[in-house]
Structure 1
C-alpha cells in the first residue's frame, strides 16, 4: 500500500497483455488543458463515449478511447485505479460526469476511489462524490474463478462457493 492506496497488478488474459507496446500507453492528463488539447482532435461521437482510464503508480490519470484495454492504457504496469470515465462541458470547463471501477483486467476494489479522486483533484476536474457505478470483484477460493458480485450476493456463479466479503482478486498485488 502506498499513500494513495493499494496497487493493482494486471490479472486479465495474457493475450491482452501482449498488446502492450512502448509509447502506446494512455494519455497522461495532469490538467484540464491537457485534456482539452487531447480531445480537440477527437470526433464529437468519441467525446460522448466513456473513456478507458487508469491511475498509474505515480497517481497520474491516463486516458484512452473506450475500447482500449486497461493494461495497454497503463503500459503494462500496476495501477492505483482503473475503470471507465465520461466528461462533459459545463460553463466552458470539463467535468467528470460518470466514473466506474469497471476493469476486468485489474479488478480494482471500490476503495480505489481514493486514488481516482486524488488524480482528478490534482488535474483540476470537478467530479462526483464517488463512483457512479461500483463493481465488486471477488475471486472464488474454491474454483479460482473471477466473479462480479451483484446485489450483495457473494456466491460464485461458476461453482456456487461462498465468496469472501473482502477484496481478494490478487493478494500479492496489495
Structure 2
C-alpha cells in the first residue's frame, strides 16, 4: 500500500498550536468552506490534508487511530472545530475512535465538540466480506442481505 503513496500526498503533521497556525494560514478562503481530511497516526499526532486527499494518502499509507473529515471556523480570534466525522472509507474507523482525535485536538489547543458531529457506522459483512455503511440502524448487508454484526468488525480479515 505504501508504494502507491506519492510523497506530496501525505498530510501535514500538526503536533502543536504553531503547526496548526502555519498550516491554516496557507489555506485559501475557498478551501476553508469545506471540511478537510484528517487522520490521527499511531503516534497520536494529527495530520491534515485537503478534502479530496484520500485518508490512506494523508497517513502516508500507515495505520491510524482515527480518520475522517474536519471543518474549522474562526471565532473570537481563534480557530475552533466546527464539524467533525469519522467518514473515511479507506480506514472505516469506529465511532469509538473519538478519544484519539479529541486528544490530538487538545494537544494542538483547538476548541472542539464533545464528540463526532456526524457519526458513520461501518461494518464488514461476515458472509460476503463487503464493507457497509449502516444507515438508520439497519444492520443488513446492502450487497448480499446478510445480517451485519452490531459491533465494529472492520479489522483486516486474517
Please name the residue that 1:62 is paired with: 47
Contact kept, 8 Å, 1:32 with 1:94, in 2: the verdict is no
Please name the residue that 2:116 is paired with: 131
1:135 to partner: Cα distance: 0.3
- Structure 1 runs of 4+ aligned residues shifted over 2 Å read 21-24
Q: How many residues align?
A: 158
> SS where residue 123 of structure 2 aligns?
strand
Cα distance 1:60–1:51, how it changes in 2: closer, same or farther (>3 A)? same
> SS where residue 85 of structure 1 aligns?
strand
> SS where residue 74 of structure 2 aligns?
strand
Cα distance 1:24–1:68, how it changes in 2: closer, same or farther (>3 A)? closer
Counterpart check, 1:44 vs 2:29 = yes
Q: Distance in 1 between matches of 2:96 and 2:104?
A: 14
Q: Distance in 1 between matches of 2:3 and 2:153?
A: 25
Contact kept, 8 Å, 2:41 with 2:63, in 1: the verdict is yes
- Shifted more, 24-33 versus 145-154: the winner is 24-33
1:22 to partner: Cα distance: 3.5
1:171 to partner: Cα distance: 5.1
Highest relative contact order (Cα 8 Å, sep 6+), 1 or 2?
Answer: 1
Residue of 99, 102, 105 corresponding to 1:120: 105
Contact kept, 8 Å, 1:62 with 1:74, in 2: the verdict is yes
Structure 2: stretches of 5+ with no match in the other structure: none
TM, length-normalised to structure 1: 0.86
1:19-77 residue CA offsets vs partner (Å, 9 max, x unmatched): 41246410111223212211222210101210000000100000000000100100000
Counterpart check, 1:87 vs 2:72 = yes
Contact kept, 8 Å, 1:60 with 1:119, in 2: the verdict is yes
